[in-house]
Structure 1
Amino acid sequence: MKRSQLKTSQQVIGDASRQDPVIRAEWDRTAFAREVALRIVGYRTENQLTQTALARKVGMTQSVIARLESGDQPPSIATLVKLSKGTGMEFDVKISRGAVEIVAA
């Protein structure tokens, strides 16, 4: 099989989540955390920072940055404030019907 024929991780998860409500529930539960993780990784990449360098910049430890980048658990509002204050990143958060999401500014 050629590399171009392989499914992306998003496609695999999408297929699985349509077939399994448990997987879908977990995917939905971690959506906010994944979005924050993508923004942090993007910021680090754009600014050529290691996790340690970013941690120092925002007053956290490298292990906290690693956990945030894993996207498994949603960050607290206090954590988002620290990230925003130290980096200038913006997080527009919407809380509705028991769900938390980042919305486009």
Structure 2
Amino acid sequence: MGTPEHEVAEEIHRQQVQAQAAAQLTQPLLKRGWRIAYVGWAAPILPVIGFFFLIILSIVALIHGVLAIVKGNTSGGLRLVLAAWLGSTGVGLLWMGVYALLSSLF
């Protein structure tokens, strides 16, 4: 039998290896999710259909973040979920403000 310190060190090492494996496993998923979020944030440049794409692509980015969380990459997935949710809300409001300003000018 090993000493308690040795067992604790082995457990910590095992958790670190699992975290690294989860990060490598979910890296393509998170990259795709961020790309989808960026495209969604740029979509409202098309006045009507762009907001539809903003909503749809935000939901898809949220799903990618949740899948990353489920697969073990909690920090990366949570950042993507929060960015997709709060970022899309902010970007949507910003674009609505831009269109309101443009409509008042013309």
Length-normalised TM-score, structure 1: 0.35
Q: Which has the larger radius of gyration?
A: 2
Identify the structure with bigger relative contact order (alpha carbons < 8 Å, sequence gap 6+).
2
Higher helix content, 1 or 2: 2
Higher strand content, 1 or 2: 1
Length-normalised TM-score, structure 2: 0.35
